[in-house]
Amino acid sequence: MKNVMLLSLSKTPTNSNGAPIHHIFHWDSKKIGCLHPNEPAIQFVQDQLRRKSETIDSIFYFASQNVKSNLPTQKISHEKFFRSLPICRGKKLQSIEIQSEDGLDSILKMSQLIQNIAEQFGENVRLHVDLTCGNSSILLAISQILNRSGIESGLIVYSNFETHRVENSSEVCRLFNLFAGVGEFINFCDVRSIEKYFANRKSSPELQRLLDKIRQFDYAIEICRTAEMESL
């Protein structure tokens, strides 16, 4: 399994001397030092993957003109500073410039870029998303598009700089996908989203019977067996 991460790159906050501000984040009784707003989420996802002997293989990010400017009093841009962080070493970094007025174009370009790299891997790919600094609608839209293309949805996180913790929003997003999947089933008899949500989850006998009926109904629609639909 290959793992890739999507984010919108942030500028690096600095103190009065122009030096990056150091933040300490906490999870699992650990204290993680971070110098960049996107760094805590990347560190968190990397830490979760390490438990499964996996790692982040590629990082994809949107880069605005702001992050291409230099840090105060330094001769390095915000983007180059991010790419120099230890958490980025050994990972393939891919970027697309984004402007506020071309949201749809950015979604399509980034989706295609990630899809192309995923095909080069030649194995299953999981996409993780950092919502900390970007337009969450754009980032989640890309996740949905790629999920339909066979790329597995991974962790969806954001860094809370008030509590200094990385919040995991993955389950909330999966619930939204389930609600959308119910609409897909009602309108188009498409059960894929419902099946993905309940895959590998414990369910009651009653719920399992309902899911079996839904699958049977979908199959009957697919092969146009109206008699089977009436019996269901």
Tell me the average pLDDT across 58-78: 92
- Phi then psi for residue 23, to 5 deg, are -120, 145
pLDDT of 73 > 50? The answer is: yes
Q: What's the confidence (pLDDT) of residue 213? A: 66
What is the average pLDDT score of the chain? 82
Instruction: Indicate the pLDDT class of residue 223, thresholds 50, 70 and 90.
Output: very low
pLDDT of 224 > 70? The answer is: no
Instruction: Indicate the pLDDT class of residue 190, thresholds 50, 70 and 90.
Output: low
- Beta-bridge partner residues of 128: 5
Q: Please indicate whether residue 198 or residue 140 has the higher confidence score (pLDDT).
A: 140
Q: What's the confidence (pLDDT) of residue 102? A: 61
pTM of the model: 0.76
Q: How many residues does the chain have?
A: 232
Q: What's the confidence (pLDDT) of residue 133? A: 83
Q: Which pLDDT tens digit goes with each residue over 14-56?
A: 998 888 999 999 988 889 999 999 999 999 999 999 999 999 9
Instruction: Indicate the pLDDT class of residue 8, thresholds 50, 70 and 90.
Output: very high
Q: Which pLDDT tens digit goes with each residue over 95-122?
A: 998 766 567 888 999 999 999 999 998 8
- Beta-carbon contacts of 90 under 8 Å, excluding residues fewer than 6 positions away, are none
pLDDT of 183 > 80? The answer is: no
